[in-house]
Amino acid sequence: MRGLSMSIVNRVHFFAQQVVDISATATKKYELLSRPRNPWGGTSIEQFFSGLEPEQHLCIIEAQLSLAEKLFETTGAECAINVDNMILKDESHQESLCKMAEAHHFPVTFEFTEVNPMPPVDKVNPLLNTLRSLGITPSLDDFGTGFNGMSLFVDYDFDIVKIDRSLISDLSGRSKKAEVLGLLAKMIDTLDKAHVVEGVESIEQLALLADLGFHCFQGFYFHQPEPVQSIMPHSNLAAASF
């Protein structure tokens, strides 16, 4: 496992992008992002990660957890980490994820992507509850794309819903789209879930979204992804156990 960990982790760069809550002075938060170091043959980021085995995804998550712990110790900032939902299909992979979470004692969010259809709710919610008991905040990533449907939004026990950038594009010229997003903000509140709106790139977008009831954002308007090393340049990242 150690050899597999070093092999795949050495093939990616780690970045961080700030998540901003404009409603109050809150704890600083980042999303940790992993990107292939040398995309070859025109391979996109999506193709690179979709080609990995679940064990390789777990190795990257383990490396990100170590970085998140170092970032929390150094700056007090909390981190969110992407988790490919293919890991949810196998009980042994779920157990590995829980063991990783149990080994780290600091606040962190797991953002579950949905490259694949989400397993049945009775298979997923027990895991989400276990992770929550270990101090992990479960989040649904990229709501509004792919396999994300209303059942996933309502029935699965995610604490945070991340709204995909595709839902906020061309917002200023589409009043019906704005109305739908306003209803979505109310639904999130009704379900007692938190939210993050992704892809905010201008003050105009921010103003419209704030008027619709949103207050937590991520995007180039606030902060572009930067190498983790630049956020804590005086920290010894080599101490993170990859």
Name all domains of the chain by residue range, CATH numbers in brackets.
2-239 (3.20.20.450)
Task: Pick the closest to residue 216 from 32, 20, 17 (CA basis).
Answer: 20
List, for residues 117-161, the tens digit of each pLDDT value. Answer: 888 999 999 999 999 999 999 999 988 876 657 778 889 999 999
Give the whole-angstrom CA distance, residue 134 versus residue 99. 10
Phi, psi of 138 (to 5 degrees): -80, 135
List, for residues 58-115, the tens digit of each pLDDT value. Answer: 999 999 999 999 999 988 899 999 999 889 989 999 999 999 999 988 999 999 987 7
Tell me the whole-structure pTM to 2 decimals. 0.90
